[in-house]
C-alpha cells in the first residue's frame, strides 16, 4: 500500500505568530489522511552524507550554527529557525530518502512524505522561502548515487517556482526537472529560458488567475518531454498553494486539479518506472484547502497503488 511518512517532531519547527508556514499545517494533513488505508512510518534522521550530496559542508555548518537555543533566528526576510527547526529539517531529508529506499526496494509502490520545513527554495548555499535544505533534490541525488538509477524525473507543482531545486539540479544531466508556477510571483525566477546546463530544466510559468484548464494545456508539452525521458523514478514536490483559497498567490486550482496532475504523474510512473513515485510536501497555507488538496493527491496514490 501507499507509504505515508511523517514525524511529530516536525511540529517542533515553530515560526513567529502569523507566519504562513505554521505548525498547524501538518496536523491538518494528518487529520485528513487519518481514515485512509496507508502504511505509516515515522521519519528517520537525515544524515550529513545525504545533505552533503547537494549542500557544501560550510553551508551545513552555518545552518547548524544558526540554530537558536530559544526564540527564533531569522535567516532572511521570511525564513526562521526555532530550537526544533534543524532537527525537523534533518527529519524531512531522512523521510524523503527513506521513501525513495522503500519504493526502490519494493516495500511500497509509491509514497507521500508530509514533513516541514519545506525544501524547494533552498539553494546550494542559501536558505530562503521558509526552506533550509533542498529535500527533493537531495532525494534525487540519493536515487542516483545510492541506488544507481540513470534517469529521475522531479516534478514541482507548487505555486512558487522551485528555484532551489533548479539550482541544485542545474548540472545534473540524469535528472529532468519540470516546474509549474505562477509568474510573476516571488521568487521572481522560473522563466522558460532557464533550461539547465543539459537542457534538463523545464519551466512552465502560469499567469495569475490561471485555473486548472489553463494549467492542463500549458503543462502538456512538459509531460510529453517527461514521457520521452522515460524516468526510472518520479519525484514530486507537492505544493498545494496553487489552490484558489491560498492566501499567498493568485491561481485558481481546486482539489480536482491536484488529483488530475497526480493521475498524470502516476501514468508516467506506470509507463516507465514500474509505478514508482515519491511525493514530498512543499507549500499550501490555507489549512482547509491544504488538507482537502493533500487528501485528493494521496487518494490518487492510494487507488493507483491498489490497482484502481
Q: Which stretch of DSSP H or E encloses residue 234?
A: strand 233-238
Query: Where is 277: in which H helix or E strand?
Result: strand 277-281
Q: What is the CA radius of gyration of the chain?
A: 17
Active site residue 121: yes
Residues 6+ apart with CB under 8 A from 84: 9, 11, 12, 13, 14
- CA torsion, ordered 291, 88, 157, 245, to nearest 10 deg: 40
Q: For residues 4 and 39, is the Cβ–Cβ distance under 8 A?
A: yes
Cell of 72: 527564533
Is the Cβ–Cβ distance between 163 and 189 less than 8 Å? yes
> Which three three-digit cell numbers place residue 77?
526576510
Beta bridge partners of 209: none
Torsion of CA 215, 220, 221, 226, to 10 degrees: 110
Return all residues near 157 (Cβ < 8 A) that are at least 6 apart.
179, 180, 236, 237, 238, 239, 242, 258, 261
For residues 295 and 33, what is the distance between their CA atoms, to the nearest angstrom? 6
Alpha carbon distance 219, 232 (integer Å): 20
The one catalytic residue in 55, 120, 121, 142 is 121
Q: Residue 26 phi/psi, 5° resolution?
A: -70, -40
How many Å apart are CA 178 and CA 155, to the nearest integer?
Answer: 5
3-state secondary structure of 210: coil
Active site residues: 121
Amino acid at each position: 500500500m501507499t507509504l505515508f511518512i511523517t514525524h511529530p517532531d516536525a511540529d517542533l519547527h515553530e515560526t513567529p505568530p502569523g507566519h504562513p508556514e505554521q505548525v498547524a499545517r501538518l496536523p491538518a494533513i494528518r487529520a485528513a489522511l487519518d481514515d485512509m488505508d496507508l502504511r505509516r512510518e515515522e521519519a528517520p534522521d537525515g544524515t550529513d552524507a545525504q545533505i552533503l550530496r547537494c549542500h557544501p559542508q560550510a553551508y551545513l555548518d552555518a545552518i547548524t550554527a544558526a540554530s537558536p537555543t530559544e526564540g527564533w533566528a531569522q535567516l532572511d526576510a521570511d525564513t526562521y529557525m526555532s530550537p526544533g527547526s534543524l532537527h525537523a529539517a534533518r527529519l524531512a531529508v531522512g523521510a524523503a530518502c527513506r521513501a525513495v529506499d522503500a519504493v526502490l526496494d519494493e516495500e511500497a509502490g509509491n509514497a507521500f512524505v508530509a514533513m516541514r520545513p519545506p525544501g524547494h527554495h533552498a539553494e546550494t548555499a542559501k536558505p530562503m522561502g521558509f526552506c533550509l535544505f533542498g529535500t527533493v533534490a537531495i532525494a534525487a541525488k540519493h536515487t542516483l548515487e545510492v541506488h544507481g538509477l540513470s534517469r529521475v524525473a522531479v516534478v514541482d507543482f507548487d505555486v512558487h517556482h522551485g528555484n532551489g531545486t533548479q539550482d541544485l539540479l542545474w548540472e545534473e544531466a540524469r535528472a529532468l526537472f519540470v516546474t509549474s508556477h505562477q509568474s510573476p510571483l516571488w521568487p521572481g525566477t522560473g522563466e522558460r529560458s532557464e533550461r539547465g546546463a543539459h537542457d534538463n530544466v523545464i519551466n512552465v510559468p502560469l499567469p495569475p488567475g490561471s485555473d486548472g484548464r489553463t494549467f492542463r494545456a500549458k503543462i502538456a508539452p512538459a509531460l510529453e518531454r517527461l514521457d520521452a525521458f522515460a524516468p526510472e523514478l518520479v519525484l514530486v514536490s507537492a505544493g498545494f498553494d496553487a489552490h484558489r483559497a491560498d492566501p499567498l498567490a493568485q491561481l485558481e486550482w481546486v482539489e480536482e486539479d491536484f488529483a488530475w496532475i497526480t493521475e498524470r504523474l502516476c501514468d508516467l510512473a506506470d509507463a516507465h518506472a514500474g509505478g514508482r513515485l515519491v511525493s514530498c510536501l512543499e507549500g499550501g497555507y490555507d489549512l482547509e484547502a491544504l488538507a482537502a488538496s493533500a487528501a485528493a493527491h494521496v487518494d490518487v496514490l492510494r487507488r493507483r497503488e491498489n490497482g484502481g
